Amino acid sequence: MATIREISKKANVSIATVSKVLNGKGGVSKATIENVMAIAQELNYRPNLTARSLKSGQSRTLGVITEDLTVFNTPEIVDGIDAYCELNDYHYILGNLRFNKRYGHHPQNTEECEKLVHSLVDTMLSKQVDGMIYIGCHSHAVVPIRNNGEIPFVYAYCYSTDPNVPSVLFDDQKAAFEATQLLIDKGHRNIGVIAGQVDSIHTANRILGYQEALYANNIPYNPNITVNGEWERNEGYSLSEKLIQAGVTAIFAHNDLMATGVIEYCNEHGFEVGKDIALIGFDNREIGTACRPTLSTVSLPLFDMGQTATHLLLDMIDGRHIKCGQKLMLACTVIERESTGKSRKEQS
Amino acid sequence: MATIREISKKANVSIATVSKVLNGKGGVSKATIENVMAIAQELNYRPNLTARSLKSGQSRTLGVITEDLTVFNTPEIVDGIDAYCELNDYHYILGNLRFNKRYGHHPQNTEECEKLVHSLVDTMLSKQVDGMIYIGCHSHAVVPIRNNGEIPFVYAYCYSTDPNVPSVLFDDQKAAFEATQLLIDKGHRNIGVIAGQVDSIHTANRILGYQEALYANNIPYNPNITVNGEWERNEGYSLSEKLIQAGVTAIFAHNDLMATGVIEYCNEHGFEVGKDIALIGFDNREIGTACRPTLSTVSLPLFDMGQTATHLLLDMIDGRHIKCGQKLMLACTVIERESTGKSRKEQS
DNA sequence: CATACGAGAGTAAACGTTTACCTTTATTTC
DNA sequence: GAAATAAAGGTAAACGTTTACTCTCGTATG
């Protein structure tokens, strides 16, 4: 590995001069610049970023913590982080808490969880990261991270109760409003909801958006046709029976997994999804294009969330931004496929 | 940020002594050890790993390059890397080439590709990584990386033509053998194949394994019922027609996407998958549990590949292992679900 | 009692940069 | 022609560690 010193020897100049040339600082003659550059090229010089970091106190490296890298939404957020980093000459080290393998999908043992997170944060701080992003795709486990304001911190997909840490979220309520509105536009007024877990923020906000859409369209809210599931396919299956018996003509499922359960129920019981029953899911998972009929759904701005979180973080690092507990809400987009069918007028 | 120097001042000893204590080296009295430790704790001391790296020339950091982080198999490999790193006190920086967003799924412009890869490798070397892993989940783009043997390098999921770089792969042939054997065990002798792209190594090896299984069971190989698709669902759909007309009773599809196409075709044309037609896919994607009937398939040892690649790499870094072009083949596992049905004897 | 030895602790250099400040020379200005 | 100024380059310290080497005792050894 060629160093600045080797270049300086070969070029018969001091290391300071070499450094100036390499960093494009002034005060060097054209001749020396060319000479030094040529030699650097020849020796295949690559700056030692470790040394630079030590001197400057800035690593240009972020720490990214994920709860579960193998859950469907995480990789694309990381991808967004990666893209923004690349654009800004930053790097990042990744740490996966591996909640799936350690605790299953819904971590319980919060004490152990916290210890895990803290130790990861600690080693990342040891690595001198300039800032950190926490991607909390398991909504239940919003671990408040003891940061002491040592370095800038941003949450993505979840938020912390720490008032000093901003977060980047997506707008559940607005998305639910639009999903419901799509069903209403198709001519439905009796719209059931297969909601997520009772204690989830996502569930609450999506119900809010649903109600808002009903209200905006003068449709009375009927609490009996909003039922809760645990995000799993089989609940979509079993709960759809109840809703259909209650006479709904459309169903808003709070995720695609449960929505596919609805499709299965309908297929098996002679209801045609997209005709007898309109259906929309949430998450835009791959299954939605694989099932029949294809599933209308809500697409999450995952890549954008990664980018935005990183943008925010770099701003904070550069002191361009005041640390605050603000929540940045990004919009989702409704994707219309077959399961929502034609409008009821067209049908008849 | 507390430094070793601050501790030394507070403890009235030299920084060398503090360093010795912190690293558990001998030659220090119990009293000083306790004192120094207490002060370190009190100051919330965290070693500056950047400084340590600079001094030692070892960063304990790996570089991980992915072609596409959002493709289904990559995150789990990374997860395996992460797990092994955690166990060994290593870290890694991730660089995503983002082939999906840049070139679509099958990168064409190899010149630009190579430039991209080389620049990423260069910056990672600048970051003083101790070794690198390249995860090449797009089989077509096995970019040979100019490494000059500067640091240890391992390929995962793909291999390079560079004879000095080992790779960690899964055993396509053996997996195909077992998948085919499962169909044979169910009583089928007329087994069609919806193979992958003609020029793919995966395709070739899976056909080999298929033939091997036929041979082992004294079933003549009929080239007319092996047809190639481009890994996409719609090809599974259209090619199944041809195979079924040719009289096959079972189909081995080279991936789950094409297999779901087969299911769709069968559903629409009155063939019952799992009864009239036995079907097995490859990849163990999520769809396989969501479709009806559920899809028998082959599960890839992704997590294990990540772990093994990292294991190999750390061995090379520690000089415990000779760099060579060896290929490590990990075994896949066949997952039996509904689509392969009961055995034919039981059926009748 | 002189010597050797070992434990405990300290000194200083080194890793590869960056940068504040200094020196030298040449050029301009009055 | 002296003084000021600018341009080109060099010196050395600093970032936070690690570590080879040195020093100073007190104790054991002959």
Distance CA A156, CA A134 (A): 6
**Strand D positions with any atom < 7 Å from protein CB?**
7-12, 14-20
Q: Which helix (H) or strand (E) holds A347?
A: helix A344-347
Reported as a single tens digit per residue, the pLDDT across A29-61 is 999 999 999 999 999 999 999 999 999 999 999
What separation in angstroms does the CA of A222 have from each of A177, A204, A253?
16, 16, 16
Name which of B51, B53, B343 is nearest B181 in CA terms. Answer: B343
Residue A68 backbone dihedrals phi, psi, to 5 degrees: -160, 105
> Looking at the DSSP assignment, which residues form a beta bridge with residue A168?
A156, A328
The phi and psi torsions of A4 (rounded to 5 degrees) equal: -60, -30
Q: Tens digit of pLDDT for each residue in A102-136?
A: 887 666 667 888 888 899 999 999 999 999 999 98
Question: What pLDDT score was predicted for residue A140?
Answer: 53
Mean pLDDT of A186-193: 97
- pLDDT of res. A113: 83
- CA–CA separation, B188 and B276 (whole Å): 11
Picking from A193, A157, A169, A189, the residue whose alpha carbon sits closest to that of residue A279 is A193
Helix axes B15-22, B30-42, angle to 10 degrees: 90
Interface test with B, best of A64, A96, A100, A268 (most B CBs within 10 A): A96
CB of B338 within 8 Å of a chain A CB? The answer is no
Confidence at residue A139, expressed as pLDDT on a 0 to 100 scale: 57
pTM for the predicted model, two decimal places: 0.95
Residue A295 has, within 13 A of its CA and on its CB side, a CA count of 30
Residues of chain A with C-beta less than 8 angstroms from the C-beta of B96: 78-79, 82-83
CA B83 to chain A, closest CA, distance in angstroms equals 8
Six token digits for residue A302: 């995952």
Q: Is the CB atom of residue B55 positioned under 7 angstroms from any atom of strand C?
A: yes
Inter-residue contact A206 to A176 (CB < 8 Å): yes
pLDDT grade for A145, boundaries at 50, 70 and 90: confident
Helix, strand, or coil here: B154?
A: strand
Average pLDDT for chain A: 92
Task: Name the phi and psi angles at B153, rounded to 5.
Answer: -140, 135
3-state SS, residue B170: strand
Report the relative pairing of strands A191-195 and A250-253 from DSSP bridges.
parallel
For A207-250, the DSSP string reads: HHHHHHHHHHTT----GGGEEE--S-HHHHHHHHHHHHHTT-SE
Residue A99, pLDDT score: 87
Cβ neighbours of residue A259 under 8 Å, at least 6 residues apart?
A194, A236, A251, A253, A279, A280, A281, A282, A288, A295, A297, A339
Q: What radius of gyration, in Å, describes the C-alpha atoms of chain B?
A: 26
Q: Letter for the amino acid at A67? A: E
- Phi and psi at A325, nearest 5°, equal -80, 25
Between CA A332 and CA A202 the distance in angstroms is: 13
> In a 3-state reduction of DSSP, which class is residue A192?
strand
Stretches where chain B sits below pLDDT 50 are: none
Chain B, residues 53-92, CB within 8 A of chain A, namely 53-54, 59, 61, 69-70, 72, 74-76, 78-79, 82-83, 86, 91-92
Whether any strand D atom is under 7 angstroms from the Cβ of B23: the reply reads yes
- Cis amide linkage into residue A220, ω under 30° from 0: no
* Residue ranges of A 210-229 with Cβ closer than 8 A to chain B: none
Q: Is the pLDDT of residue A146 over 80?
A: no
pLDDT attached to residue B326: 84
What value, to the nearest 5°, has the Cα angle with vertex A283 and ends A282 and A286? Answer: 115
Q: In the predicted model, what is the mean pLDDT of residues A251-275?
A: 96
H helices, E strands: number in chain A: 14, 12
CA A25 to C1' C20, whole Å: 14
Mean pLDDT, residues A271-300: 96
Identify the DSSP state of B50: H
Cα→Cα distances B311→B132, B149, B332, Å: 12, 19, 19
Tell me the C-alpha distance between B155 and B169, whole Å. Answer: 8
- In B90-119, the residues whose Cβ lies within 8 Å of chain A are 91-96, 98, 101
β-pair partners for A227: A194
Asked if B128 reaches chain A (Cβ–Cβ under 8 Å), the answer is: yes
Q: What is the pLDDT of residue A106?
A: 64
Q: Give the residue from A155, A249, A239, A159 showing the smallest Cα distance to A197.
A: A239
Residue A115 CB neighbour total at 10 angstroms: 11
In 3D space, the residue among A182, A288, A181, A188 whose CA is nearest the CA of residue A243 turns out to be A188
CA distance from start to end of chain B: 76
Which of residues A348 and B111 earns the better pLDDT score?
B111
